């Protein structure tokens, strides 16, 4: 049988300590505000997002405010984007190129994270996929 080295004992001790320690609670639990502007077609995905946030320790009504705006027509994007920006969220989430464009016009300082944009570089939402620059980043889906 192999003898444990000092390093092995230290790592094992640290693991036991971390696993047995109670969860650390923040002195004052901060509430995070997320603004969401998306096409109405993504409504079902929001529930999955909220579930995952809960698993990560963020719950609506406790430490998370999720301002949801789902649009069915492009004409509403600008007004809803301005409304979300006025609430000064920590981050803006968006799906769809039209919604991201509206948020980009509404703010250059609040971080914007997008999904379901087929060509963010071609639409001039970001400088490049590797280095988006500015306050916008996200996941591109190149669907022909």
Digit-coded pLDDT (tens) for 120-142: 999 999 999 889 999 999 988 86
Cβ(105)–Cβ(81) under 8 Å? yes
With a CB cutoff of 8 Å and minimum separation 6, the contacts of 129 are 120, 121, 140
Query: What is the band of 68 on the pLDDT scale with cuts at 50, 70, 90?
Result: very high
Percent of the chain with pLDDT over 70: 78
Kindly indicate the confidence band of residue 72, based on its pLDDT and cuts at 50, 70 and 90: confident
In this prediction the pTM is 0.76
Q: Which domains does the chain carry?
A: 32-140 (3.40.50.2300)
User: Is the pLDDT score of 111 beyond 90?
Assistant: yes
Kindly report the backbone phi and psi dihedral angles of residue 52, in degrees, each rounded to the nearest multiple of 5, phi listed first. Answer: -65, -40
Average pLDDT over residues 33-58: 90
Residue by residue, DSSP assigns 64-84 as EEEEEEEESSGGGHHHHHHHH
Confidence of residue 110 (pLDDT cuts 50, 70, 90): very high
The predicted-structure confidence for 78-101, as pLDDT tens digits, reads as follows: 999 999 999 999 999 998 899 999
Q: How far is CA 103 from CA 5, 59, 86, 141, in A?
A: 56, 25, 11, 19
Stretch 35-52: mean pLDDT: 88
**Amino acid 7: pLDDT:** 46
């Amino acid at each position: 049988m192999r003898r444990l080295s000092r390093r092995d004992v230290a790592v094992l001790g640290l693991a036991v300590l971390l696993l047995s320690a109670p969860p650390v609670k923040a002195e004052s639990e901060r509430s995070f505000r997320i603004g969401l502007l998306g096409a109405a077609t993504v409504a079902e995905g929001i529930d999955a997002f909220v579930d995952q946030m809960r698993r990560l320790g963020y719950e609506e009504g406790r430490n998370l405010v999720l301002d949801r705006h789902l649009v069915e027509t492009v004409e509403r994007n600008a007004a809803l984007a301005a409304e979300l920006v006025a609430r000064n969220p920590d981050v803006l989430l968006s799906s769809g190129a039209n919604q991201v464009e509206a948020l980009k016009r509404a703010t250059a300082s609040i971080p914007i994270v997008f999904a379901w944009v087929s060509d963010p570089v071609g639409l001039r939402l970001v400088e490049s996929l590797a280095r988006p620059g500015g306050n916008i980043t996200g996941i591109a889906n190149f669907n022909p």
